[in-house]
Amino acid sequence: MNKSINAAPKEYTKVVLTLDLGASTAKEIAQIYPDGVPIVVTMEPEIADVGAGTIEYLSSQLLQDNTVWIGIGEEYYVLGSLSRSMFAGSSAIRDLKYKYALPKIAALTWLAIRRLGVKNDLEVYVQILLPPGEIATANNLGKQLTQLLKAGVKTPTGKFKCKVRSYNAALEGSGLLAYRSRNENINYFQKNVGMLMLGYRNASFTLAVKGNSSKAESTDLGMNWVVDQFVERTAVGLSKEDSRLIAAIVEAGNGNYDSLRRLSRKTKPEEIKQDVELFRKVLPVVREEYTRALLRWVKNIAIMDEVIICGGTATFVRKELTQHFEEEGIPICWNGGMELPKYLDTKGLGDRVADVWGSHISHIKMLDGSFKYDRKGKPLVPDYYVQPINAAAPTEILPKNRYSVAKQRASKT
């Protein structure tokens, strides 16, 4: 008897990944399809190319949660916090996201699989968010990724491989535009709706004319512009690579200059005081110039009936943006009106994960249509779901029976 004829077809675990390779934090939402609970996976943006000897050393050490490295052929990359702390890794702000996309996507995929507890026989469905200026590279990136993960990449837990069953790229902000379009009360398909996304590396603008994408542009006016100007104009030895600087600038923008006081490299109280006085003088000027440049760019692009504003940098100039668009008579919808599910934001990113979550919802809806799967109105993140206590442990597995989790919680109350 020919056993191959009667052998049962191999079953693969389907994993859906929606990724945003942000310049301040790489974010992804991962989910076992169709009924797994989505989780947020993050990775610091730094990356460093290293030699085989470095990987041999890292492999001899105890595997830690921040040990992330990828081997592609004879090239090796250390990523995330380990890249920054041990190898002076760079977040590569000046480079296109596409340049380091392959090792970053491979690393994020590996991290997601560890978090989800999936072992072998795996197929993934990938969606990646890109700024308008890089969307043309998407097809080539997808082909390279499919070949790479089929052949396998080296990781701290051994060779990792999987089948890429689908790959697509979407514009940054498209997740929130899609979410907004599903609101039946706003006449979305009768309006010109602009999407302004302010990230760390750049700003992106998309215009939807009666539901159809009409324009998409990007510029370098991200938070990085503010950081560069602030460091150069103060000239007191601040480092643009200091991970504390962005948070300190945001806090100072809200009137709390103690955060910037801690960044002063002076030792004498009088000199520290002088630095803080300089910070207080320079930051409002830089903030005003940034806002003016941003609005000048937006006004030259399009006329809108409504603007959706999102991205981590938007909170820094929220007051200025609100004032401008109110004076122009253009209603603002922050983050597309989205409210993140209570149990999804386990990383404390808040609105910074809104776009990738909106894109993930669209991604799942697309796959449901392809597989003819009926969710029957069930939410992707149940309100009874509880994340594991040690969310970064490589051995963790999401609860297979989510209803037992609900029952356990009910029994304790």
Q: Does residue 250 have a pLDDT over 60?
A: yes
Residue % of the chain over a pLDDT of 90: 48
pLDDT value for 9: 65
Q: Does residue 46 have a pLDDT over 50?
A: yes
Which two structure tokens, joined as six digits, stand for 404? 């037992």
As a whole number, mean pLDDT of residues 186-196 equals 90
Q: How confident is the model at residue 94 (pLDDT cuts 50, 70, 90)?
A: low
Q: Does residue 139 have a pLDDT over 70?
A: yes
As a whole number, mean pLDDT of residues 385-412 equals 38
As a whole number, mean pLDDT of residues 268-286 equals 89
Model confidence pLDDT, tens digit, residues 317-354 = 999 999 999 999 999 999 999 888 888 888 888 888 99
Q: Does residue 399 have a pLDDT over 60?
A: no
Residue % of the chain over a pLDDT of 70: 89
pLDDT value for 234: 87
Higher local confidence (pLDDT), 313 or 382? 313
As a whole number, mean pLDDT of residues 278-300 equals 92
Q: Does residue 200 have a pLDDT over 50?
A: yes
Q: Does residue 96 have a pLDDT over 60?
A: no
Q: Does residue 152 have a pLDDT over 90?
A: yes
Model confidence pLDDT, tens digit, residues 162-181 = 999 999 999 888 899 999 99
Between CA 290 and CA 296 the distance in angstroms is 10
Q: Is the pTM here over 0.75, yes or no?
A: yes
Which of 84-98, 138-152, 331-345, 396-410 shows the lowest mean pLDDT across its residues? 396-410
- Report the greatest alpha carbon distance in the chain: 90
pLDDT value for 413: 35
Residue-range domains of the chain with CATH:
9-171+342-404 (3.30.420), 188-338 (3.30.420.40)
pLDDT value for 339: 86
Which of 44-53, 144-153, 205-214 shows the lowest mean pLDDT across its residues? 205-214
pLDDT value for 319: 92
- Tell me the sheet residues that pair with 79: 47
pLDDT value for 364: 96
Q: Give me the chain's average pLDDT, please.
A: 84
Between CA 342 and CA 385 the distance in angstroms is 9
pLDDT value for 241: 75
As a whole number, mean pLDDT of residues 253-257 equals 77
